[in-house]
Amino acid sequence: MNNKAEAVEAETTQAEMQLSERAANRSYAAQVLREAFTQWGARFGLFWIALLAAVAVFAPFLANSHPLLVSEGSVVSSPMLRYMTIGDFVMLSVFITVVILLFINIRFYKKALILFVMGTLTAIIAFMLVSPPQLTVYDQYRAKQAAGDYEWVIHAPVPYSPKDYIRDEGDTGLEKPLGSESRTHWFGTEENGSDVLSRMIHASRIALGIGFVATGIAMLIGIIIGGLMGFFSGIVDMVGMRLVEIFEAVPTLFLLLTFVAFFDRSLYAMMVIIGITSWPGYARFVRAEFLRLRQQEFVQAATACGLPLRSILFRHMLPNGIAPILVAASFGVASAILAEATLSFLGLGLVDDPSWGQMLNQAVQSSTFNWWMAFFPGGAIFLTVFAYNLMGEALRDAIDPNLKKSAS
């Protein structure tokens, strides 16, 4: 720390005292979050991610070939609801619970518990009650509507499902935005003729899911290994660091490619694979953080008070190390989303599910350049990654006492 800053700080204690009176009874975490999210960048990031999350959750309502409501022979039914999967229901219930919990003031762990219970409960109920038909024929609605079988029908805003391949439209199925007269495709169609916007809406689930779960897995491994290294040092540290070095010496993408090529390419495998190839960064980070914290006097004091190891690790060390780890996680989600997009782009991603990266790949796959396949999915990847990076940046600035002091 530099002297001048110190001097300035000493001189400003008075002002700080006033500030701290206002901030009285507010925990450090709340302060950091307040500070981070007063910046416009972080606000934009948060807004975009929230929007994306909402889109992901309500995807079946936003983009679906199944009409939301239809009246056929004066019987009102909802084909959309009939085709909703267990996953759709769980997501909805979790999302609603989160929104409600945001406005309730209870302890964090209680919130987590309620969330978990709600999720499992919905899953069980949905498992018992919901059984979407195996076979879907999207054309039936269009045929029936053309035949005038419906008295009235309410379509989703984007009336196409992501896998509603309309192959009978020309040769390639690739069509410019609003290029067809008979249908409205705001973002055009992809090579099999399905709607790009609809695929993008549904792909946001994959992007967000992979971002969160893969980073979660990576962080879990990283925190365990890094924490062990930092706390026990000695031989554990040496072996762990070698392991970290091994994983860092190969470009992550090579490792990912190998994993993906040799294992199955389902969504869950992808999450696990991206997770286990990106843990070394977190491990190194957590280790350094633990080494630093272990020297802190309040940790020494906790030991001197005879507190059990569990309390020292989880009450004294982890909460103080979590803020920088969260920053790393925010950047980590961005890079996990990028990793998935890259793999899909290289043709090693998910086989059948829509993904932004895979659509991007189609932009130059055929002999022509289809700009809408690059612009929209690519733009979505960019905005999401940018949003996470902005939030990470703002959080980092907020927790860095050095920067705070020097930034006037």
Partner 1 sequence: MIPTLLGITIVVFAVMASAPGGISSQSLVEGQNLEPQAKKALEDYYNRLYGLDSPAPVQYLRWLNNVSPIGFTFDENREINGFSFFKGSDLGDSFRYGRPVMELIKERVPITLLLNVISIPLIYVIAIAIGVRAATHRGQSFDVGSSVVMLGLWSVPTMLTGVMLIGFFSSDQYWHWFPTSGLSQREALDMAFLPYWSSFVDVLWLFLYSAVGAMLMVGLSRLESLPWRCGAMGALGLVMGILMADALPGESGVVAYLLLGAALALLFTLIAYTDYLALRLVVMGSIGVATGTVLFFMFQSEGFVRGFFLDRSWHLILPVLCLTYGGFAFLTKLTRTAVLENLLADYARTARAKGVSEKDVLWRHVFRNSLLPLITVSATLLPGLLGGSVIVESIFSIDGMGKLAIEAVKARDRELVLSITLISGVLTLVGYLIADLCYALADPRVSYD
Partner 2 sequence: MLLQVENLKTHLRAGNSIVKAVDGVSFSIDKGEIFCLVGESGSGKSITALSVIQLIPKDICNHPDGRIAFRCGALDGSGERAVLDMLTLSEEEKRQVCGARIAMIFQEPMTSLNPVFTIGDQIIEVLQIHWPEMSDAEAHKRAIAALKQVQIPDPEVRVDEYPHRLSGGQRQRVMIAMAVACEPDLLIADEPTTALDVTVQAEILRLMKELQKRKGMSILFITHDFGVVAKMADRVAVMRQGKIVESGTLEQVLHQPQHDYTKQLLAALPENLKRQRDLKLIETPSRKESVVHEMNEPPLIELQQLEVYFPIKKGLFRRTVDHVKAVDGIDLKIPEGQLLALVGESGCGKTTLGRAILRLIDSTAGSISFNRQVITHLNRKEMIPLRRGMQIIFQDPMSSLNPRMTIVSTLIEPMAVHGIGASKEERIEIARKILQRVQLEGEHLWRYPHEFSGGQRQRIGLARALVLNPKFIVCDEVTSALDVSVQAEVLQLLLELRAEKNLTLLFITHDISVVEYISDEMAVMHKGKIVERGPTDDICRNPQKKYTQDLLAAVPRLIL
Q: Any residues with CB less than 8 A from the CB of 231 and at least 6 apart, and which?
A: 290, 294, 313, 317
Q: How far is the CB of 57 from partner 2 (least distance, A)?
A: 32
Among 75, 128, 137, 309, which residue sits at the site for partner 2 (rule: CB under 8 A)? 309
Which of partner 2, partner 1, none binds 368 (CB below 5-8 Å, type-dependent)? Answer: partner 1
Interface residue with partner 2 among 152, 263, 298, 369 (CB under 8 A) is 298
Q: How many residues bind partner 1 (CB under 8 A)?
A: 57
Give dist(CA 161, CA 307) in Å, integer. 57
What number of helices (H) and strands (E) belong to the chain?
20, 3
Provide the angle, in degrees to the nearest 10, between the axes of the packed helices 40-57 and 86-102: 140
To partner 1, the closest distance from the beta carbon of 246 in angstroms equals 4
Given partner 1, partner 2, none, residue 7, with its beta carbon under 5 to 8 Å by kind, binds partner 2
Residue placing its CB nearer to partner 1 in the complex, 157 or 347: 347
Q: Which is nearer to partner 2, 19 or 51 (CB)?
A: 19
- C-alpha span between 234 and 115 (Å, rounded): 40
Joined together, the tokens standing for residue 95 give 């999302």
In this structure, the dihedral spanned by the alpha carbons of residues 16, 18, 19 and 22, taken in order and rounded to 10 degrees, is 150
DSSP at 315: I
Which positions from 335 through 394 interact with partner 1, judged by CB under 8 A?
338, 341-342, 345-348, 357, 360-361, 363-364, 368-369, 371, 374-375, 378-379, 381-382, 385-386, 389-390, 393
Q: Which does 252 bind (CB under 5 to 8 A by kind): partner 2, partner 1, none?
A: partner 1
Q: Which stretch binds partner 2 (CB under 8 A): 58-66, 196-204, 206-214, 298-306?
A: 298-306
Phi-psi region for residue 227, left (φ > 0), alpha (ψ -120 to 50) or beta? alpha
Instruction: Look at residues 201, 194, 204 and name the one whose alpha carbon lies nearest to residue 169.
Output: 194
Interaction between residue 402 and partner 2 (CB under 8 A): no
> Should residue 262 be labelled a site residue for partner 1 when binding is judged by CB under 8 A?
yes
Local structure of 189: helix, strand or coil:
strand
Tokens of 133: 């038909």
Shortest Cβ distance from residue 37 to partner 2 (Å)? 17
- Binding partner 2 by CB under 8 A: which of 311, 366, 368, 402? 311
Paired with 150 in beta bridges are 72
Nearest approach, Cβ of residue 163 and partner 2 (Å): 48
Q: Under the criterion CB under 8 A, does residue 171 sit at the interface with partner 2?
A: no
Q: What Å distances lie between residue 42 and 39, 47, 80, 380, 394, CA to CA?
A: 6, 8, 36, 17, 6
Tell me if 247 sits within 8 A of 277, measured CB to CB: yes
Q: Which is nearer to partner 2, 5 or 76 (CB)?
A: 5
For 109, other C-beta atoms within 10 Å of its C-beta total: 8
Q: Which of 73, 133, 148, 308 binds partner 2 (CB under 8 A)?
A: 308
Q: Which sign, positive or negative, has the C-alpha torsion 293, 298, 300, 304?
A: negative
| Stretch of 116-124, 223-231, 259-267, 307-315 contacting partner 2, by CB under 8 A | 307-315
Give the residues lining the site for partner 2 (CB under 8 A).
2-4, 7-8, 10-15, 17, 20-21, 23-29, 238, 296-298, 300-309, 311, 315-316, 319-320, 408
